[in-house]
Structure 1
Amino acid sequence: MFNSVKYLLLLVISVVFLACSGKNDRPTINFSADSSSIVIKNIDEASLFEIKKTYRTNPDSIKLISVLVTPGDEDSLQDEKDIFGKTLLKGDSVIFTPEQAFIKGKTYLVESYIGIKFADGNKLFKGTIKHNLEPQTQMLKR
């Protein structure tokens, strides 16, 4: 009897450890090596397929990424300003190149809906499903 309980407990512990995945499958948002553009990598295949399909039909009209310059501590106007630029799909990455170069010392807020899932099994189980999609946000300092 004790032996079967021990094996059952071992099985339950193994299943719990295998079910808990530490894998971060969200897209990564970073500056390029020379800080002249913003690169989104690690995009899942389904999202990449949808991006490619939309990009092929009209590459100028899609807004995959939103970039805002955040105000500094000394700025009198505390408004975030939208940065305009061009979005390019290259391989499995999305590259945003601004019309004017990023300014050294400034902080940029990047928002993207790429790879965002409305509800997955984990959120359903925990009861943390929200009524609207929230973008992935990343603060980048040049």
Structure 2
Amino acid sequence: MFKSLFKFSAIVAVATFVISCSGTNKKPIIKFSRDSTTIIIKNIDKASLLQLKNAYAINADSIDLISVLVKPGELDRLQDEIEVIGKVNLLGDSLVFKPDLPFKKNKNYLVESFIGVQFANAGKLLSGSIKQNLQPQKQILTR
């Protein structure tokens, strides 16, 4: 009896582990397009994509989905990050940011997005690493 109970609990534990480690837990990918004229966020999960489509359909101009900042270089006099102004479009399952002025070569751009960010999941609850506020996904891109 104990052997069958042990086998059953082992099967349940393995099944739970496999389900929790599925491919849907991937973070969105932030990168430049091939010609470096736009920034693309792809690999957005279905729930976040549905929320994006609903918010975009209501008023595409007022939602702040992504922020792009120019990081200052070591030799720049002003050490402030400057926001890049541009338009955001939702194309299929990707979000595309096109700046009003083209990206400059040899500059670093900090991209911040709250798309697909989770407040807490089971792993964070068990490890005790929950933070009090949402942390955006950050990516530094170099043109």
Residue equivalent to 2:133: 132
**How much identity, in percent, do the aligned residues show?**
51
Structure 1 unaligned blocks of 5 or more: none
Q: 1:16 to 1:43 in 2, by over 3 A?
A: closer
Aligned CA-pair RMSD: 2.4
Q: 1:14 to 1:107 in 2, by over 3 A?
A: same
Residue equivalent to 1:60: 61
1:16 positional shift: 8.9
* In structure 2, distance between residues paired with 1:108 and 1:132: 24
- Using the size of structure 2 for normalisation, the TM-score is 0.86
Residue equivalent to 1:93: 94
Residue equivalent to 1:39: 40
Q: Which string of whole-angstrom CA distances, capped at 9 and with x for unpartnered residues, describes residues 57-98 of structure 1?
A: 101111100000000111111110000000000000000000
- Using the size of structure 1 for normalisation, the TM-score is 0.87
Residue equivalent to 1:115: 116
Structure 2 unaligned blocks of 5 or more: none
* In structure 2, distance between residues paired with 1:56 and 1:19: 33
Residue equivalent to 1:79: 80
